Structure 1
Amino acid sequence: MVIIQNTKREQDENDKWLGMGNQVLLDYFSTYAAVKARHSYGPQGHRGMSVLIFEASASGYLEAERLHKHFAEEGTDKDTWFSNCRILFLPGGNRHLYGYLATKEDLEFFNRHCQGKSRLKYDMKSYQKMVVHQIRQMSEDSQQLIYLKNRVVKEKKHAKALEVSFGIEVAKGNG
């Protein structure tokens, strides 16, 4: 998951904050393979904090990490967000978004005012388990697939040789 900061937009007639919609956030980061977006709400409405959720796989983690690196390269990462140097608006009035890979503490803060079904459920897993082991398994599966393809080719050649040999034997027997 990647935390996206500064996603609240405006206040409604009841002075409650409104934020970016799920689809708007997903569209904004469409070059990354996020599967869902969620927002954090408190007593004053949208808290300006959202989360992009990626597939629970090695490729999902790598996509989230790629987005995290994008924010770091742009200078809009977690350190900048929590510093006094952040810029809330871009020229033209659009909000300047900040983002970073979510930690357990970030997700607890995200859920601070959430109860029941509105709480973001998550399960923290190690990098080893989610990425290293899955990539190793994909590599082993790939090697097994190559081995099996080569074996099928050899079996076909052997079958063809037997056909030719059997055809020759039949022809000799009839001659």
Structure 2
Amino acid sequence: MFSGYGGLDLAVEHATGGETAWFSELNDPVARVFTHHWPEAPNLGDITTINWNQVTPLDVLCGGFPCQDVSTVGKQAGLAPGTRSGLWSHMAEAIDVLQPRQVVIENVRGLLSARAIRPQAQGATDDNRNPATPSPATLGDLESATWSLGDDAARPLRALGAVLGDLGRPAV
């Protein structure tokens, strides 16, 4: 997922002895490079339109979801709906549906300090979801432990906490 030219895929193949079954990439020139190296692997295309129930399950799922919004040199919009980094939610959905034995995720160190904003769940109120990080965000405004999941609604959720929380929730 978010395959790019296939560097992460190649590394996972070498580490696991597996084969790339399919990939998901929007950028046509980059997808052509990927297809050159893996001509048998179909491109599933836009991750936001994939029905994961119709995708061949696999043992290892790998991907590097966009980092532009969580990188310290990027937009710093956080892991939020409507951001490029917010596309993580589609990778999390694929993991939930496909239930791979292993997941390899690549991203930037900014996940440790970037904020995360959860979409408003049906029936939820602002009192029972993690609020946005105050602007301008500073490390002092965020959780003290990098692995915290932000369960306290008064403390903002970190991007890494959102990713770990999504990975730790029971499959649907």
TM-score, length-scaled by structure 2: 0.27
- Please identify which structure carries the higher strand content: 1
User: Which structure has the greater CA radius of gyration?
Assistant: 1
Considering Cα pairs closer than 8 Å and 6+ residues apart, tell me whether 1 or 2 has the greater RCO.
1
- Please identify which structure carries the higher helix content: 1
